[in-house]
Amino acid sequence: DQQVKQNSPSLSVQEGRISILNCDYTNSMFDYFLWYKKYPAEGPTFLISISSIKDKNEDGRFTVFLNKSAKHLSLHIVPSQPGDSAVYFCAVMYFSGTSYGKLTFGQGTILTVHP
Amino acid sequence: DGGITQSPKYLFRKEGQNVTLSCEQNLNHDAMYWYRQDPGQGLRLIYYSQIVNDFQKGDIAEGYSVSREKKESFPLTVTSAQKNPTAFYLCASRTVNTGELFFGEGSRLTVL
Q: How many CB atoms lie within 10 A of CB A54?
A: 13
Q: Which residues of A touch B103 (CB under 8 A)?
A: 36, 43-45
| Residue in B42, B97, B105 nearest the CB of A43 | B105
pLDDT of residue A99: 67
Each residue of A73-83: b (16+ CB within 10 Å) or e?
A: bbbbbeebeee
pLDDT of residue B1: 65
Are B103 and A107 an interchain contact pair (Cβ–Cβ within 8 Å)?
A: no
**Cα Rg, chain A, nearest whole Å:** 14
Mean pLDDT of B27-49: 91
Q: Which residues of B touch A32 (CB under 8 A)?
A: 99
Most B-contacting residue of A105, A109, A110 (CB-CB within 10 A), to test interface: A105
**pLDDT, tens digit, 9 for 90 and up, residues B62-95:** 999 999 999 999 999 999 888 899 999 999 999 8
- Using CA atoms, how far apart are residues B19 and A96, in angstroms rounded to an integer? 34
SS3 B38: coil
| Residue in A32, A41, A49 nearest the CB of B106 | A41
Q: How far does chain B reach from its first CA to its final CA, in angstroms?
A: 36
pLDDT of residue B112: 86
**pLDDT, tens digit, 9 for 90 and up, residues A62-105:** 999 999 999 999 999 999 999 999 999 999 988 776 666 788 89
pLDDT of residue A94: 82
- Using CA atoms, how far apart are residues A58 and A75, in angstroms rounded to an integer? 10
